[in-house]
Amino acid sequence: MKTQDEINYDRIAKAIDYIQHNFKEQPTLDQIAAAINLSPFHFQKLFTEWAGTTPKRFLQYVSAEYAKKLLKDNKASLFETAYETGLSGTSRLHDLFVKIEGMTPAEYRNGGQELAINYSISETPFGYIMIGSTSKGICHMSFEKQEEEGLENLHSKFPNARLTNKADGLQKDALSIFENDWDELPQIKLHLKGTAFQLKVWEALLHIPLGSIATYGSVAQRINLQRASRAVGSAIASNPVAFLIPCHRVIKSSGALGGYMWGTTRKAAIIGWEGIKSENAEKGQIQRIVSPR
């Protein structure tokens, strides 16, 4: 039986699906609420609690028009000018990471035979997430429907590792990214399993600021492989660490969201949520500057 949080997430996901498919008609609060069988008052309250803003405001971020506007604003040099669109502190996720430390060839080949991995499952604004960590850093994060499936997924990635059901400090630090002020987050280490090319692509994703997006082509340009958009897309699709490595911030050059390992509805929700956090952070920074001391 689903928990109330799971039921509420399903309702919000259904609402986001409705908005994505009907944004050109600019649906009203009553229309969206009716689509998920809730009263307008109940829906408004639930959505605002979940997303931190009203459905009307959230619509601006999850629609295709939002993605296209960002692309248009950054058309001169989309990836590089992304730095200028974010805040110097709160928008730069890559500043939180000390480094990406790839596993040794032996660890990769042997399916993590020498690795001890702690794992736990936690609730986030976007559903449950399974997170795994070694002594060196976070090695796995994946949105999951239930713990059993999450554990099977983790085991398939590291079939020979020693898995222990334990929440450690590394996991808690990584999960704090969903709740705390990004300026106050601890440094987060990653310990990843991938080829040299994949590690290079994943590291490039860390340079896309909060509230901004990039295209597959611009990521390829960032690593000086302009003609490797397809290979870059494959590396992005194999990202082993959901959310921390922000593959959700990469969309098609047409403005369409493109694919996402954990579902396009969740991708749209995260883009919108981050857009709101970025905007709120910018307002807060401006207020601090103009307020009398």
Which residues are catalytically annotated? 247
232, 190, 200, 199: which is closest to 215 by C-alpha? 232
Place of tokens 């969201």: 257
* Interatomic CA distance for residues 70 and 119, integer angstroms: 37
227, 236, 202: which is closest to 94 by C-alpha? 202
Rg (CA), the chain: 19
Residue 252: Cβ-neighbour burial (10 angstroms; 0-12, 13-18, 19+)? middle
- The answer to whether 193 and 112 are in contact (CB under 8 A) is yes
Task: Give, in order, the Cα–Cα distances in Å from 41 to each of 30, 33, 220, 246.
Answer: 9, 9, 46, 34
First to last CA, the chain: 53
Task: Provide the token pair at 13.
Answer: 């996901």
Detail the DSSP E strand segments found in the chain. Answer: 97-102, 116-124, 127-133, 138-144, 162-165, 188-192, 214-215, 250-251
176, 192, 199: which is closest to 136 by C-alpha? 192
Backbone phi, psi, residue 213, to 5°: -135, 165
